[in-house]
Amino acid sequence: MIRIRNLHKTYTMGKNVLHVLKGIDLSIEQGEMVSIMGSSGSGKSTLLNVIGLLDAYGDGEYFLNDVLIKNLSESRSAHLRSRFFGFVFQAFNLISFKSALENVALPLYYQNISRKKRNRIALEYMEKMGIRDWAGHMPNELSGGQQQRVAIARAMISQPKVILADEPTGALDTETSYEVMDLFQKINAIGVTVVIVTHEHDIAARTGRTINLKDGTILSQG
C-alpha cells in the first residue's frame, strides 16, 4: 500500500535549512495497524503529512498503491487524498460553525454527493461511532472524546483505504484515549489500514507494529 524509499525532507526557514527526514525507508501493507513513535521534533508528524499528501518531499521515492507520488498538482493530490486517506488530528479540527453532522458529511460534499444522501450516510457513521444522538450539536457543545469520535466518523465517511491519525489521543484522558483506540481497532478489523503517530507507549502498544523515529531516521520498525 505504502512504500517509501530513501525519503528526505527539508524545511528552509530564512537562512537555516532544517533537515527533518533523513532517508526514510518504510513500507506499510494494506490492513496493517502501525504506530509511529518518537519524541517531538523527530519528524513523525512530517512523515505522516508526506504520506497523507498534505506535504511534499525532497529526494527519494514514495509509492502509493504502486503509483509514484511526485510533483502532483494541487487538484490531483486533493483527488487522491479524498480517495485514499482519512485524517484524524490531535486538536480534532472540526469546523466550529458546522454541526457535528455537517462536519461528518463534509468530505462527501467534495465528492459531489447530494445533501440528503450524505446526511444519511453521515448518520450511519455517527451511529457506528456511538454519537448519533449528538448529530445536531455544535463542536463546542461536545466533550473532547465526542469531538474526536466526530472527527473519526468524518475521516471514515469517504471509505478511505488508510486512516492517518496525528496524536489522536494527545488531548484526551486515559479512559477516553482507550475508547478511541478501541474504535481504531474496530476500523482496522474491517480492513482499513491505520497509521497512528503518538509519543505514548501504551497507545503504541495497542497497534500491530511500532516504527521508532529519532532525528529524522528510523531506529527500528516492528
Partner 1 sequence: MRIDLDLFQEIFATIRSNRLRTFLTGFSVAWGIFMLILLLGSGTGIQNGIHHEFKGIATNGIWIHQGQTSKPFRGLQTGRRIEFVNADYEEIKATVPGVEHITARFYKWGNNTITYKEESGVFNIIGCHPAHRYIKETILLQGRNINDNDLDEFRKVAYVGLQVRDQLFKNETPIGKHISINGVLFKVIGVFDDERNERSQRIIYLPITTVQKVYGGRNRIHAVMFTVGDATIEESKAIQETVRRKMAARHHFSPKDEKALRIWDSVEEFQKFMALFRNIRIFIWLIGIGTIFAGIVGISNIMLIAVKERTKEIGIRKALGATPWSIISLVLAESVLITTLSGYIGLVLGVGTLELLAGNLPALDLFRNPEVDFTVALGALALLVTAGLIAGFFPARRAARILPVEALRDE
Contact status: 93 vs partner 1 (CB under 8 A)? yes
Q: Which of residues 100-139 bind partner 1 (CB under 8 A)?
A: 106-107, 109-112, 115
- The strand pairing partners of 184, in sequence order, are none
Q: Which of 57, 89, 125, 184 binds partner 1 (CB under 8 A)?
A: 89
CA distances in angstroms from 88 to 59, 118, 119, 200, 221, listed in the order given: 27, 20, 20, 16, 22
Contact indicator for 122, 149 with CB cutoff of 8 Å: no
Rounded to whole angstroms, how far apart are CA atoms 19 and 77? 24
Q: Which of 10, 90, 176, 217 binds partner 1 (CB under 8 A)?
A: 90
Rg of the chain on CA atoms, in Å? 17
Output the smallest distance, CB 222 to partner 1, in A: 27
Rounded to whole angstroms, how far apart are CA atoms 80 and 75? 9
Question: Closer to partner 1 at the Cβ: 15 or 40?
Answer: 40
Contact indicator for 130, 165 with CB cutoff of 8 Å: no
Contact status: 18 vs partner 1 (CB under 8 A)? no
Amino acid at 88: V
- What would the x/- binding string for partner 1 be over residues 138 to 177, using CB under 8 A? ----------------x---x-------------------
Residues of this chain that bind partner 1 (CB under 8 A): 49, 52, 54-55, 74-75, 78-79, 81-82, 87, 89-91, 93, 95-98, 106-107, 109-112, 115, 154, 158
